[in-house]
Each structure stands twice: as structure tokens, then as C-alpha cells.
Chains A and B, each alone.
Chain A
């Protein structure tokens, strides 16, 4: 068993606090820069990468690429301004893929 690290990518104000609890912090608000950081992190030994939902939209392609590898696990988190609902949306996407129908949508409406 190897040791792996945890990283956070997001805007500075939201994620600065993670530094105090021993997580690597990569502050950025720029999509291009975020892409570079993300790619570097997936090559290094990071097991979990937290990405704020604000940046996740621009990183979609990269995130999909690692989605079906065992590691790393990419988790979308809200930033300090609030949740955009991408995280939940992603769960729904996965369910749709597995079941072949959007069963969660009915649940929420009904």
C-alpha cells in the first residue's frame, strides 16, 4: 500500500482553509491554469482531488478521462459562494449510464 496525497483546486478564498488541515492547495480561477494543474495532479500520486464546481465546467474533459480509472477520485465541492448542483448532476449522469434511464429525476419530482 502506497501513500497518496489529497489536493484541492479552486478559488483562493474558498480553499485557503484546506491548507491548515494538511491538504495540498492549488488556488486558481483560470480555466487554462486549472487544466494544467489538474493534469499534473493526475500524474502525481494524488488519490483524491477536490475541484470547486465553478472550475469543474472547464475541466469536464479532463475529469471524464480519469472517471473510470480506479484513481484518482475527483470530487466536486461547492465554493464559498454556494453550490451549483453539478455534483448532484454528476451522480445522476452516472445512474443514467448504469440503469439506462434517469430514475432519479422521477424521484425528485414525485
Chain B
């Protein structure tokens, strides 16, 4: 669609300048999109592997915990677990990928996993809980990676929209308007010229 501007030389110059800027912006955004996409695909690959691994290991951890539980009375398990000696918290930092802010999670462990006495609890419980601790660490990495992936995906989509808006709307519009103004101006010039010639002829005829 043609832009709503007056067909003047002034506008023509302005539009030409604008087209140059828009083209440059489009190229930059396109480069950004490509770079983000490359990083995103790498991330997706690693997240997929990570998730498969974490899911498997969590399953295994649940299984071993269930087994350990079955060897001792329920109440004892609850007692052993209900006052955890270990506290896991997260320090959250920030990092930028292609201008997208993503969180960085750093687990901080206080205390030890085994907080219960030796009496009454089976060794299996110790083993299964230690294993779970390891899995949890991986799960947190997965949490960070999935979040990063999500935020990156959101930004890629936004950038893609911008690139497309420039490429398929703004740039064609500008080109069309510039052509229209050029045509209009040369048409005006021609009509002016022929008018002058005609007037000249009339004046000459009267002399």
C-alpha cells in the first residue's frame, strides 16, 4: 500500500533516506535472528538429551526410594524424613544471550542428607537419598536450560515478526511510494514542458 504523503521532491528525498535506514535495520535484525536461532538449536539439542536423562534417573530414584521404604515401617520413614537436615536453596543470577536476560541458578546446599539415626533405617534409604540428591542437581540444570530455551524462543518469535514486518510491509510500501512520487514528478515536468511549448507557439502566432 502506498504511504499517505504528498508527491513532492522534499518527501521523495525523505523517503529515500528512510528506505536506506530501514534496509540497514532489516539486515541487522535478520542477522540477530539467525544468530539467535543457531544458539537456540544448540540449546534444544542439549535440553532434549538432558530431559531424557533426568526423566530416566528420576524414575530410578523413585523406584529405589520405594524399595527402601518397603523394607521399613512407614512411620519410621516419615520420622527419618520429616526433619530434613539438608536445606537446598538457590542463588539466582542473570546472564544475557543476544540481549535476552536469562536466569542462572546456583544451588546452595546446607547440612547433609543423612539427618536420621542409624537405628531402624535401612542402608538402602541412605543410598537412594544420595542418588536423589545427584538427580536433583541435574534437574536444576534442566530447569535453568528449559527456562533459557523458553525465553529465547519468545524473543526469536518477536524478532521474526519484526523482520517480516520490515521485509513484507514497510520496505515494499516505501519502494512503491518512491516510485509513485518519481512518476508523478516526471509527469508534472512533462506537462509543464508541453504547456510552455504551447504558450510559446500562441505568443509567436500573435506577433
A residues adjacent to B (C-beta < 8 A): 1-6, 13-14, 16-23, 47-48, 50, 67-68, 70-71, 73, 75, 77-80, 82-83, 87-88, 91, 94-95, 97-100, 104
Contacts and interface: CB of A to CB of B under 8 A. Distances in A.
24 contacts: A1-B93, A2-B92, A5-B90, A13-B66, A17-B61, A17-B81, A20-B81, A21-B113, A22-B84, A22-B87, A22-B111, A47-B105, A48-B140, A48-B143, A71-B147, A73-B103, A73-B144, A79-B62, A80-B66, A91-B47, A97-B157, A98-B156, A98-B157, A99-B156
Interface of B: 37, 40, 44, 47-48, 51-52, 54-55, 58-59, 61-63, 65-66, 77, 80-82, 84, 86-94, 101-103, 105, 108-111, 113, 115, 128-129, 132-133, 136, 139-140, 142-144, 146-147, 149-154, 156-157, 160
A5 B94 CA distance: 17
A22 to B, nearest CB: 4
A97 B102 CA distance: 18
B44 A95 contact: yes
Nearest to A99: B37
Nearest to A85: B55
B51 A71 contact: no
B160 A100 contact: yes
Contact of B129 (A5, A17, A71): A17
A96 to B, nearest CB: 9
Given A50-B139, A98-B152, A3 B101 contact: no
Main secondary structure on chain A at its contact with chain B?
A: mixed
B62 A48 contact: no
B109 to A, nearest CB: 7
Given A3-B89, A16-B65, A19-B81, 14 more contacts: A16-B81, A21-B136, A22-B110, A22-B111, A50-B139, A71-B92, A71-B147, A77-B58, A78-B59, A91-B51, A97-B157, A98-B40, A98-B156, A99-B156
Nearest to B152: A98
Contacts of A100: 160
